[in-house]
Amino acid sequence: MIVAFDLDGTTLDSMGELEALAVSYMCEGYGVEQELARCWYRQSVGLPFREQLETTALPGHLANPEIARRFERDKAKIYVGLPLFPEVQGVMSSLEHLAVDTALVSSTKTALVERVADRWQLPCLTYGYDGRRRWSKTRQLESLAITYDDVLFVGDARSDLDTALRAGVRFVGINRGAPWSYFGLGVVVVNDLYDVLGCLK
Ligand SMILES: [Mg+2]
């Protein structure tokens, strides 16, 4: 069995910084107010940023490639310096002691995912978006799972639940400030990654 952790907002405390970058470039590129840009960003968080622009922001807008380019450029500059959530290393080492494999799955570029894992010495497999065949998080999870119980995916966004459903794997939501995203959906939501240890079968 493998416990697969989403990276942004689940493992890495990155959402505040990434949202600020995204909102700033969307406001500049589209000429819209911050509140609207923030709303668009939050609606599709968890997807690769370019896909966010093409789904919940302004699909087909001529500014999308440049907004995405600037966002990715600045994200790469700050990303590896961002902190992990405090319980991450302890939880991963507890899972290692239990002989449970771990993985990071992400819509972030593979090289950045690997640098984060290296910086914090995380004992896990790493998957990113621009790796083999530009694998989405769904394909990353599918590559780890043969049966439903092979993978427990832990994520912080509503789109992570959809990803788990598409990949046919188990899902646990982590409450990082928006637990209502899962209300009424029958999803197990934990408040701390240590609680995931109680969700292993
Ligand atoms: Mg996330």
| Whole-angstrom distance, CA of residue 35 vs CA of residue 75 | 21
Distances (CA, A) of 67 to 33, 64, 177, 193: 15, 5, 27, 33
User: How many residues does the structure list for the chain?
Assistant: 201
Tell me which residue of 154, 164, 159, 150 sits closest to 191, measured CA to CA. 154
CATH fourth-level superfamily of 2-13+83-199 = HAD superfamily/HAD-like (3.40.50.1000)
Task: For residue 157, report the distance from its CA to the centre of ligand 1, in Å.
Answer: 5
| Whole-angstrom distance, CA of residue 56 vs CA of residue 120 | 33
Task: For residue 89, report the distance from its CA to the centre of ligand 1, in Å.
Answer: 17
Judge residue 188's burial from the number of C-beta atoms within 10 Å of its C-beta, 0-12 exposed, 13-18 middle, 19 or more buried. Answer: middle
Task: For residue 14, report the distance from its CA to the centre of ligand 1, in Å.
Answer: 9
Residue 105's beta-bridge partner residues? 6
Task: Tell me the pLDDT of the chain (201 aa) as tens digits.
Answer: 999 999 999 999 999 999 999 999 999 999 999 999 999 999 988 888 999 999 999 999 999 999 999 999 999 999 999 999 999 999 999 999 999 999 999 999 999 999 999 999 999 999 888 755 578 899 999 988 888 889 999 999 988 999 999 999 999 999 998 777 777 888 999 999 999 999 997
